């Protein structure tokens, strides 16, 4: 099954929620863990136990593993492998973007089904040109994986750039969505190539959300995004959105049952969409 099909099945089974696995130093401390490899190991293993087969998506943030060096990357590899075949899909947040053979190497590292760090989907940046993402799309198609492309992120530094007018007359973010529409053309029930659009974007002035792909929506919960924001921003395509939260759920740890209950409560709130 394509990633788009698997994502659709997971959302039907578990709801649309994505829970971030973000081992910030302050979260490790809050859980009573050391900011160390041992603390990271216990944090990641607890998240797998709490969320595998309970939510549709989890999104490990690669940077919080990489900061521990090779040992941290090894824990990220194990975390991704432990989540495989549990019904919960992994979206590895790496925001990679490069050209030519380098992009191809990144794609092989994260999207090849036999790679140690293989994920169901990854995040990528289009700002070396949308065509630079071709190796990621090719690897995703070959391995039934997914790609989420930054379009309208909610950090204040980015929005001026993403809403700037390109030579086509469209905004830069709109050009991303149009290109995703071409990439997803004909896919059913949903394409495998998605956009990243923040839940706290003040004004989403676009008519191009119907690109037939999933929409990863970070910033829901502790960062300020609400169910009302999701309705306001996404209107008729709320069935395609994957709201992502980290701190709202992770702050309830380290008890596994409490983490699961927090995720379930957040998922329930999304039924109001």
**What residues are annotated to the active site?**
95
Return phi, psi of residue 177, to 5°.
Answer: -65, -40
User: 148: which 2 tokens?
Assistant: 């989420």
CA distance 175 to 177: 5
Q: Tell me the backbone φ, ψ of residue 60, rounded to 5 degrees.
A: -65, 135
Coil, strand, or helix at residue 105? helix
Collapsed DSSP state (helix, strand, coil) of residue 213: coil
Q: SS3 for 225?
A: strand
**In this structure, are residues 19 and 256 in contact, taking their beta carbons and an 8 Å threshold?**
no
Report the chain's C-alpha Rg in angstroms. 18
Q: Which pair of tokens denotes residue 170?
A: 């469209």
Tokens coding 193:
């190539």
Report in angstroms the alpha-carbon separations of 170 from 110, 112, 128, 208, 233: 31, 34, 17, 11, 18
Matching residue, tokens 């596994």: 256
Which residues are registered as beta bridge partners of 195?
149, 215
CB atoms within 10 A of CB 42: 19
């Amino acid at each position: 099954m394509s990633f788009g099909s698997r994502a659709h099945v997971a959302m039907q089974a578990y709801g649309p929620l994505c829970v971030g696995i973000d081992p910030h130093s302050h979260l490790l401390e809050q859980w009573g863990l050391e900011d160390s490899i041992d603390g990271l190991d216990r944090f990641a293993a607890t998240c797998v136990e709490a969320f595998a087969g309970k939510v549709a998506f989890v999104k490990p943030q690669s940077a919080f593993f990489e900061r521990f060096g090779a040992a941290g990357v090894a824990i990220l590899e194990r975390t991704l492998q432990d989540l495989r075949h549990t019904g919960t899909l992994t979206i590895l947040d790496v925001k990679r973007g490069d050209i030519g053979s380098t992009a191809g190497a990144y794609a092989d590292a994260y999207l090849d089904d036999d790679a140690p760090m293989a994920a169901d989907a990854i995040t990528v940046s289009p700002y070396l040109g949308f065509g630079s993402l071709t190796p990621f799309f090719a690897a995703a198609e070959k391995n039934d994986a997914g790609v989420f492309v930054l379009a309208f992120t909610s950090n204040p530094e980015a929005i001026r750039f993403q809403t700037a007018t390109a030579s086509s007359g469209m905004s830069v973010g709109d050009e991303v969505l149009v290109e995703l529409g071409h990439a997803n053309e004909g896919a059913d029930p949903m394409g495998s190539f998605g956009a990243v659009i923040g839940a706290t974007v003040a004004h989403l002035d676009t008519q191009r959300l119907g690109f037939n792909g999933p929409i990863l929506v970070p910033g829901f919960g502790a960062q300020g995004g609400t169910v009302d924001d999701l309705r306001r921003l996404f209107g008729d395509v709320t069935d395609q959105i994957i709201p992502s939260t980290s701190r709202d759920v992770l702050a309830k740890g380290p008890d596994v049952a409490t983490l699961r209950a927090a995720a379930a409560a957040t998922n329930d709130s999304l039924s109001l969409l």
